[in-house]
Structure 1
Amino acid sequence: MLCTVYKSPRKEQTYLYVERRDDFSAVPEALLKSFGTPQLVTVINLASRQHLALADLAKVKQQLKDQGFYLQVPPPVENLLAEHKAQQLKQN
């Protein structure tokens, strides 16, 4: 299963996977608008992959099959202050 990966010029570490190069017909217009003009990163064969760097391979394949695209967003930023406060509350 081949797919094409694009990065967002507006949102750091945000990637859009589509089944065919330059075919964004399955991607909602509002998503494309907020994503910005997609910038080609690579074409990959998902069938020959064991894993992906920051995405669940099975989830990517399933969403490509079901909706025609997969959106990879960066992991949430850790809130160290909130974690520290939660630890302080546990200790008290």
Structure 2
Amino acid sequence: MHAYVYKSQRRADTYIYLAARDAFERLPEPLRTQLGPLQFVLDVALTPGRTLARENPDEVRANLAARGFHLQFPPTPGVDPMHEDWGTDA
């Protein structure tokens, strides 16, 4: 299975995977409006054993098969180590 990945020009670190190149009609209108213009960034083969940096490839394949698209949101910010309690009074 192939995926065509597009970056939202309006929402930072938000990507859309499409089952077919430039198949923007698969996206619900409210989602298209929120994402704004999309820029093509990657054509990727989602073969078994393939890993992706921030997404589960099995979930991406399932969404592409069921809906024709997969939405990748920005990463959730981690805990800031400068604000953790390190057990010191300093």
Under a length normalisation based on structure 1, what TM-score does the superposition of the two structures give? 0.81
Query: Which ranges of structure 2 fall in alignment gaps of 5 or more residues?
Result: 86-90
Give CA-to-partner distance per residue, 1:40-88, whole Å, 9 cap, x none: 00111112652101110000000000111000011222354xx74xx6x
CA distance in 2 between partners of 1:50 and 1:17 (Å): 15
- In the alignment, structure 1 residue 28 sits paired with structure 2 residue 28: yes
Query: Which ranges of structure 1 fall in alignment gaps of 5 or more residues?
Result: 88-92
Identity of aligned residues (%): 35
CA distance in 2 between partners of 1:26 and 1:34 (Å): 15
Number of aligned residue pairs: give it.
Answer: 85
Specify the alignment match of 1:71 in structure 2: 71
Specify the alignment match of 1:90 in structure 2: none
Query: Aligned runs of 1:1-92 on 2, under 5 Å?
Result: 1-47=1-47, 50-78=50-78, 80=80, 84=84
Could you list the structure 1 runs, at least 4 aligned residues long, displaced by more than 3 angstroms after superposition. none
CA distance in 1 between partners of 2:60 and 2:52 (Å): 9
SS at match of 1:47: coil
Under a length normalisation based on structure 2, what TM-score does the superposition of the two structures give? 0.82
